[in-house]
Amino acid sequence: KLICKDDPNKTIDSEAHKNAVRPIVTYNNICKSYGDLQVLKNINLDISPGEKVALIGPSGSGKTTIARLLMTLEEPTSGTIEVEGELLWHQKVKDKLVKANEKHLHQVRGNIGMVFQHFNLFPHMTILRNVMEAPRTVLGLSKEESKDRAIKMLEKVGLASKMDVYPAQLSGGQKQRVAIARALVMRPKVMLFDEPTSALDPELVGEVLEVIKEIAAEGEMAMLLITHEMDFARDVADRVLFFDQGRIIEQGPPKKIFNNPESERLQTFLSRFN
Ligand code: ADP
């Protein structure tokens, strides 16, 4: 197995999920460095189908990198990632592990949806076109089917009435709800939310969190939620992971993490939110 040079030989794994159904996502001994900077240090993590996992921790602790690796926006320095048992960054050729080709990456990545801090809508397209675009071009669905799917998703995020306007005519909260619809329309099995409300004015945060909560309550999709909204993490997550300096320091159900944090680092981190 690939391990980091400074592998502490300690993996904090998810006991509760080890013996459960096959994980939808697995990080195996993942390390990521930028030059000399080790950003992730031997991360082991299983996410079960439908599980909602919140990532909390100080800025720079490696949370976004976890998401970016899964989105294939970054490549791990060592270790492997699996999605539904399929290797993401590697593929097996005649029993040998080789670097994945574009086609393989594309296929496995198709299960993952992501919503970023900044919504990145296409400014020259209407809201409906924004949501229809990927089903048409990536999934190759017909115009009718793409439109059907898109409208259903816009209804889900409460924006069907805005489908003919352009992004510039929407508030930040509405734009982010469109971005959520645009990710959902691809029917991913895992959704990543990377601080989806941190670029919003405070009064717009609630509507976006509400939409995410509703989607979470439907239960089918696994979710990885990177957030500084502790009340939201407490409400939505099945499990909370506390990251610090590239490691998972502590993890558990929200009640445990927020009411009975064990490590001093987590206690210090949480005290900032009180
Ligand atoms: P978080 O999401 O917890 O704030 P990140 O995963 O964004 O943490 O970042 C972890 C560390 O990696 C930070 O120190 C950040 O500066 C560094 N980092 C992230 N991306 C790059 C990059 N492309 N090049 C160099 N350093 C990076």
Atom 12 of ligand 1 has which residue's CA nearest to it? 39
**DSSP H/E element including 86:** strand 86-87
Taking alpha carbons only, the member of 86, 3, 1, 73 closest to residue 40 is 3
Q: Is 31 exposed, middle or buried (0-12, 13-18, 19+ CB in 10 A)?
A: buried
HSE value, Cβ hemisphere, 13 Å, CA-based, for 90: 19
pLDDT at site 19: 54
Residue 5 DSSP SS3? coil
Select the more confidently predicted residue: 109 or 269.
269
Atom 6 of ligand 1 has which residue's CA nearest to it? 62
Closest-lying ligand 1 atom to the alpha carbon of residue 243: 3
Q: Distance from the CA of 32 to the center of ligand 1, in angstroms?
A: 10
What phi, psi does 83 have (nearest 5°)? -120, 120
Q: Is 61 a pocket residue for ligand 1 (Cβ < 6 Å)?
A: yes
pLDDT, tens only, 219-244: 889 999 999 999 999 999 999 999 99
Q: Are strands 78-83 and 25-34 parallel, antiparallel or unpaired?
A: antiparallel
Judged against a pLDDT cut of 50, whether residue 118 lies above it is answered with yes
Give residue 251's region: left, alpha or beta (phi > 0; psi -120 to 50): beta
Q: Is 38 a pocket residue for ligand 1 (Cβ < 6 Å)?
A: no
**% helix, strand, coil for the chain, step of 5:** 35, 25, 40
Residue 116 DSSP SS3? coil
Judged against a pLDDT cut of 70, whether residue 265 lies above it is answered with yes
Q: Distance from the CA of 140 to the center of ligand 1, in angstroms?
A: 35
Quote the CA–CA distance of 214 and 254 in Å, as a whole number: 18
**DSSP H/E element including 264:** helix 264-271
pLDDT at site 9: 46
What phi, psi does 112 have (nearest 5°)? -115, 130
Atom 11 of ligand 1 has which residue's CA nearest to it? 60
Judged against a pLDDT cut of 70, whether residue 3 lies above it is answered with no
Judged against a pLDDT cut of 80, whether residue 258 lies above it is answered with yes
pLDDT at site 10: 42
Quote the CA–CA distance of 270 and 213 in Å, as a whole number: 22
